[in-house]
Amino acid sequence: MLRSVFVGALTVGLLALGVPAYSQSEPVNDRVSAPSNAEPERFPGGRAGAEKSNCAEAAARHKAAGSTGLYGCITEVSETEARQRSAATGAAAVPLPVNDCTGNENGSWWALRLSQCQIDPDVRYTLRDKDGTIVATALFAIAQQMDLSATSLEWTETDQLVMLEASPKLPALTATWTTKCAATCSPATTAVFSKQPVKVGQLLKKTYKVADVPTKKYDFLDVDYTLNFDAAGATEITPPSTWDAEVRCDDQLSVGNTSGCVVPWFTPTLNISRAQYGSSADMINWAQINLSGHWGLRSSGKPLHRLQSASEQKKNRQAICGTGKFTPDPAVEQDSCDEFPFAGTYESGALNGVDHGNACAQVTSVRKNSTGDLPFDWQTVTPIGTVTGNEKCVRGHIPGPLNSYAGGAYGNFVQTARLADNDGFWLKVTSS
């Protein structure tokens, strides 16, 4: 049964690349590896915690209402101020909330493809009198973690709030935290904390589930958060702090027969193993280093992008490796036509002006050993003829099973990373 499952996964991968299947004597799952998320990625918009300051608005509201009592406002302490405060007070007596963002406590969202989190230790509540003079302050840390699934429209979120410190004159304080999701979410609103009393050292924590009710298109869901504090004896006019997160869900659009959700702004990484894919992996690495496109190479290139259309993939494959355009080399065991960038990407040479594989840089596999283990025997490639470095693709003589295994890895990656059409991804050639 397991063999059948992995053969199916490999077939999807081969179709995604336009790579023909080859027979092999070993289980396919030994060669098709899972994708890598690489390192967590910081949200490109920067810090995502509380508003920088709503004190001016709070003062205006207080004055407009004709109030003469106390009022509060919320600010986000700057990273410089937070460092100065930490240096002055030493190690915090109250520990910060813990989640997968521990170590990145800077108020930004950090993400992998199927999760995102943040820890912001710099949210300050300030109580003022009618003249704006500070009466008391409290410092809070908030933490969030959202765990998604590539095969489910439901995800889990855990939100945490802790008061780190407070001045002696701070009156009793309550916290209200509300999560609102886009129109297709269920529930649309979650009351995380409602007028919840909070004091120094007290950790408030809630785990809850949210699900997307699928539409016939990609659902880009804005998840909005509001946080407010109310002090005993103060006028309740404080503008709440607000921030948001983004999730993308789809029902059988990116991957057939399944539904799931991802972090859309995270760019995942496909690992292609030399130990598993031999000269097919080396051909990719050779192209990333020696050709000017540097396709998928994080350090110097741009991401590759998934091409979902099966018919377009077939056209790309035909242009580079089609009938009459490739002559197998009998010196290469089970020789096949391998190409990079993949036919299943928008970077395919066929979509960038190449109508015959002869226009690609040419390489061939080199036999290193004769053990019967293809990746070990056929580890590397060498160029054929002259290479300018400006070619828009590489075409190689690669043992068929290695070609197929690499195709299966990409197909598996498309599913586990839930890549939509034109979604970007990095590609890293690894040693193991």
Q: What is the pLDDT of residue 79?
A: 54
Q: What is the pLDDT of residue 84?
A: 55
Handedness of CA 198, 202, 207, 210 (dihedral sign): positive
Give helix then strand counts, H and E, for the chain: 7, 21
Q: What is the pLDDT of residue 67?
A: 78
pLDDT higher at 85 or 330: 330
CA 75 – CA 82 distance, rounded (Å): 12
Q: What share of the chain has pLDDT > 70, as a percent?
A: 86
- pLDDT at residue 394 greater than cutoff 80: yes
Long-range (24+ apart) CB contacts under 8 A made by 385-391 are: 387/290, 387/291, 387/361, 387/362, 389/290, 389/291, 389/292, 390/291, 390/292, 391/291, 391/349, 391/359, 391/360, 391/361
Each domain of the chain, given as residue ranges in start order, spans 2-38+268-430, 42-262
- pLDDT at residue 355 greater than cutoff 60: yes
pTM: 0.87
Q: What is the pLDDT of residue 34?
A: 47
pLDDT by residue (tens digit) across 358-384? 999 999 999 999 999 999 999 999 999
Amino acid at 237: I
Report the range of poorest mean pLDDT among 8-17, 359-368, 395-404. 8-17
Highest mean pLDDT among 50-54, 106-110, 277-281: 277-281
CA 282 – CA 287 distance, rounded (Å): 8
CA 405 – CA 32 distance, rounded (Å): 6
Q: Provide the 3-class DSSP secondary structure of residue 261.
A: strand
Q: What is the pLDDT of residue 48?
A: 46
Q: Which among 330, 428, 335, 348 has a CA at the least distance from the CA of 394? A: 348
pLDDT by residue (tens digit) across 173-186? 999 999 999 889 99
DSSP secondary structure letters along 117-149: EEEEEEEEEEEE-TT--EEEEEEEEEEEEEE--
Tokens of 389: 């470095």
pLDDT by residue (tens digit) across 86-115? 545 544 589 999 999 999 999 999 999 999
